[in-house]
Amino acid sequence: MRSKLNDWTLRALNFPSRLTLVKSILQAMPVYLFSVLAAPKSIIKQIKTIQRSFLWGGSPDKMKWPLVDWKSICTPKNEGGLGLRDPHSTNKVFNAKILWRWVTHNHEPWARLWHAKYAWLWNKQQLIRYDEQPPGSFIWTIVSANRTLITNHCFWEVRSGDQAKFWEDAWHQRPKLKESLTNPAILTDLQNENRILVKDYWANQSDSQEYRQWHQEPWWSQNL
């Protein structure tokens, strides 16, 4: 990135031109590395300094005072910002994407290695629920720290109801039902009754989705 800046003439570029170069080049250059590696905080800080310095007309060795804080610049345009991507947030998103690839592409060699090393007791179809954080490599630690970006924004497809957990999973694009319980102790009682999956709450176990009905239980309205 620094060598790229040496080829650009800052004095001949106005602010919109520098903004375009930051968006199209300086913010695109580290994307590939972010997608396969977890960048250290010191590198993220240097990347942000280079981008911010060039945007305000400075140089890699001499930075001018910014007129607007970086957080405001990185907000969407419809919210008053310039639509830039903060390198720290971008790195977190791509780290979370690595975890998503581990869950959805578990046949790849590196994914099989992670499964054998960190989650060998877990079924591969259930890795989306994996919430442990055993010590491991640097990239494993960073990727695990950003797992909530995946687990909080994904949901199960119900289908036959034999995979999604009724209370503990987000399904049918709805939040987790256990977060709405006013009496969390009732969840333990239901699990003791072996009522865990979505299908366990259907009154009709027919394979036809047109005729499925829920159990009518009076305590639902009192605890949700």
Based on the fold, state whether residues 111 and 97 are members of the same structural domain: yes
User: Which of 134, 151, 168 is the last residue before a domain boundary?
Assistant: 151
Same domain, 66 and 117: no
Q: Is the pLDDT of residue 220 over 60?
A: no
Structural domain containing residue 7: 2-85
Q: Are 71 and 13 within one domain? A: yes
Q: Is residue 168 part of a domain?
A: no
At 63 the pLDDT is 65
- Give pLDDT tens digits for 129-153: 888 888 888 888 888 888 888 888 8
Residues 101 and 81 in one domain: no
**What tens digit of pLDDT does each residue of 15-69 get?**
898 899 999 999 999 888 888 777 888 999 999 988 998 888 866 566 677 888 9
Report whether pLDDT(170) > 80.
yes
Give CA–CA dist 97/127, Å, rounded.
14
Residues 131 and 202 in one domain: no
